[in-house]
Amino acid sequence: MRRFLPVLGLLFLAPLVGEFLLGNLSVRVLPALPFLVPLYGGGALLIREVARRTGRGRPTILLLGAAYGVIEAGLVDQSLFNPSFEGHDFQSITPIPALGLSAASTLSFVAGHAIWSISVPIALVERGRTAPWLGWKGLTLAALLYLFGCWIIFGDLRDSEGFLATPAQRIGAATAALLLIAVAYLPNIATKRYKAPSPTKTGVIAFAASSVFFARPESWPGFWFGLAWLAAAAVWLARTRWTDRHILAIAAGTLLTYAWGGFALTALMEPHDPVRWWGNAAFAAGAIALITVTRTTSPEPASAETPTG
């Protein structure tokens, strides 16, 4: 049960955070959650197990999450390249005509999946326990579950959207994902690390920093600011000595950004739907409850996490 419950929790938490807490999907379509579990949950579980089995840490998980984001947005639902994906006009801002995508939307999709769909759920479910959960059979099943999820979403959106990216676009997305995976497994680089602030302060900083990134304008200045902001955050994370309690604080603060972000998206998409607003409140309350439970049940003593593994 010590292994089964975290696996089950991650399978469901990844799509709940990545789609429902964000407010991208209304509570009205919560019955569709099982169809998202294979893609989101299977992907998060596979990334977690591969990283932990190879002795790697959270930077590797984050980069593998970015590869997951490129695969999902570029190859599975193809929202990177679809100019009218689900009725939105993502490519009207910061367009790159030669690639057939929007720079700002690409950054939002990839970073959103890497941080919120993958890294945050893994950190909250792990609670500092980094031993593998699955044997080789379980790892194989996780990979098959993820591939099944890719097939479900790809087929459904191909039929409903009537869109298929060009071969060059798909090759480019696959190449980018492979490069991110390769970077995730570069040798560790020893760096001088500095003392972290208290876990409480760390959580507040994580909430503020992730909120600034989430609220940046969808424009070319906003795109370049977002890249610089992520780079600065990466340097801060890599050059600081973190404990398990700090990691949980970072995950909790970052999670709360999506809690308020869900209300922001509802205000933009369906401001006159009371059910959607109540759904946002329920998901936000669930996020707060999860943080509370995670904080009170986190293991003691907290251990240091390597910054680059």
Q: What is the DSSP letter of 187?
A: P
Residues 37-60 have pLDDT tens digits of 999 999 999 999 999 999 999 999
pTM of the predicted model as reported, rounded to 2 decimal places? 0.94
* 105/203 Cα distance (integer angstroms): 27
- CB neighbours of 172 closer than 8 A, spacing ≥ 6? 74, 99
Residue 309: pLDDT band by 50, 70, 90 thresholds? Answer: low
Question: Which pLDDT band, with edges at 50, 70 and 90, does 308 fall under?
Answer: very low
DSSP classification of residue 304 = E
Looking at residue 1, what is its pLDDT?
62
Give 157-189 pLDDT, tens digit per residue.
999 999 999 999 999 999 999 999 999 999 887
- Nearest Cα residue to 287 out of 257, 246, 259, 249: 259
Per-residue pLDDT tens for 97-110?
999 999 999 999 99
Tokens in use for 227?
């890249």
What does the pLDDT look like over 215-247, one tens digit per residue? 999 999 999 999 999 999 999 999 999 999 999
**Listed residue (185, 66, 65) closest to 121, CA to CA:** 65
pLDDT band at 89 (very low <50, low <70, confident <90, very high): confident
Average pLDDT over residues 20-29: 96
**DSSP conformation letters of 123-159:** HHHHTT--S----HHHHHHHHHHHHHHHHHHHHHHHH
What b/e string do you get for 15-43 counting C-beta neighbours within 10 Å, with b at 16 or more? bbbbbbbbbbbbbeeeeebeebbbbbbbb
Backbone angles phi and psi of 133, in degrees to 5 = -95, -30
